[in-house]
């Protein structure tokens, strides 16, 4: 048995879509070779047929020759990888609150007593229970709670997109830009502060969910290709949650003036052409006169 190449699944995806552009051989190549789609001009086998010698037919013939050469040189393992990527199930993200989210797929939802429904492109998940009782419909699954909205992530598109770009899904950091005062009452007095983030929290959640789906899909591909005759697939070597390896500030929590002493504000420098206003200091005599006037 020939030795297999040991390679990380992420590197294999980059080789397939960034270096070899294997996704173009699947659709464009089939059309160019006449395996699907409209047939090109010319190409008849009868000597009575007219031969199209236009520039369009010349370009089509050149594309066919190029695709034939690329298909002949494309490793069969990469073509198999592309077929598996296209067959992967989609994932769904449920935003709970703050930075919390749940990532679902159809099998996991069914195993945990839930059902994913998609109507007019909008996906929801709902907890279900069996009807029970007697009769033909006792095994029917009925909703047992409110439907919760989901965001669909097309797994094949995610893998191909980042394989072509030779990168990973970007996960924004949780950074506080400033603290916004919270006003209450008619006098508009600040009763507290809330953080304003550089990146909105919902965008951070979307980035983390996309990364989690990408990492899980890489793990699924590694398991599927465990018996490959060409590659010994490992990994993914990427961290499953890189945001846990970085220092972060929890939403709503910040050390405000921690360990700092109250200091008097500095005076603003006078603008050009204007004199600094003179300070009026109260003396003991003036205080005595004011008391006498009050008496």
Write out the chain's pLDDT in tens, 295 residues: 568 899 999 999 999 999 988 887 755 445 444 444 444 444 444 445 555 667 777 777 776 666 666 665 667 888 889 999 999 999 999 998 888 899 999 999 999 999 999 999 899 999 998 876 666 666 778 888 899 999 999 999 999 999 999 999 999 999 999 999 888 877 778 888 999 999 999 999 999 999 999 999 999 999 999 888 889 999 899 999 998 876 555 544 443 333 333 444 444 555 555 555 555 454 445 444 444 444 4
What is the sign, positive or negative, of the torsion defined by CA atoms of 80, 82, 83, 87?
positive
**Angstrom distance (rounded) from CA 218 to CA 200:** 28
In 3D space, the residue among 96, 215, 211 whose CA is nearest the CA of residue 150 turns out to be 96
User: What DSSP string describes 99-147?
Assistant: TEEEEE-HHHHHHTTEEEEEETTEEEEEEEEE--SSSTTTT-EEE-S--
Q: Name residues whose C-beta falls within 8 Å of residue 250's C-beta, 6 or more positions apart in sequence.
A: 174
* Count of CB atoms situated within 10 Å of the CB of 10: 24
pLDDT, residue 294, reads 43
Q: Model's pTM, two decimal places?
A: 0.68
CA angle 288, 291, 294 (to 5 degrees): 150
pLDDT of residue 264: 43
- Please give the helix or strand (H or E) that residue 193 lies within, else none: strand 189-197
Q: What is the pLDDT of residue 292?
A: 42
């Amino acid at each position: 048995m020939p030795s297999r190449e040991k390679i990380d699944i992420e590197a294999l995806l980059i080789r397939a879509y960034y270096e070899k552009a294997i996704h173009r051989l699947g659709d464009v190549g089939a059309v160019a070779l006449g395996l699907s789609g409209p047939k090109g001009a010319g190409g008849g086998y009868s000597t009575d047929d007219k031969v199209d010698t236009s520039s369009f037919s010349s370009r089509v013939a050149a594309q066919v020759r190029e695709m034939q050469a690329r298909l002949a040189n494309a490793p069969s393992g990469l073509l198999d990888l592309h077929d598996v990527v296209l067959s992967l199930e989609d994932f769904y993200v449920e935003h709970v609150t703050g930075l919390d989210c749940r990532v679902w797929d159809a099998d996991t939802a069914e195993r945990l007593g839930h059902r994913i429904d998609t109507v007019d492109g909008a996906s929801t998940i709902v907890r279900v229970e069996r009807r029970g009782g007697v009769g033909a419909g006792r095994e029917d699954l009925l909703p047992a709670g409110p439907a919760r909205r989901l965001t669909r992530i097309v797994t094949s598109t995610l893998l191909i997109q980042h394989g072509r770009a030779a990168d990973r899904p970007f996960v924004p950091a949780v950074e506080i830009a400033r603290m916004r005062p919270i006003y209450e009452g008619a006098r508009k007095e600040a009763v507290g502060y809330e953080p304003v983030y550089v990146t909105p929290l919902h965008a951070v959640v979307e980035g983390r969910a996309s990364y989690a789906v990408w990492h899980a899909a890489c793990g699924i591909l590694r398991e599927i290709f465990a018996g490959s005759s060409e590659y010994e697939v490992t990994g993914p070597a990427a961290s499953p949650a890189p945001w846990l390896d970085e220092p972060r500030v929890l939403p709503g929590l910040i050390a405000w003036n921690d360990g700092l002493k109250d200091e008097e504000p500095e005076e603003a420098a006078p603008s050009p052409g204007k004199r600094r206003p003179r300070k009026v200091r109260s003396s003991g005599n003036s205080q005595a006169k004011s008391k006498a006037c009050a008496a």
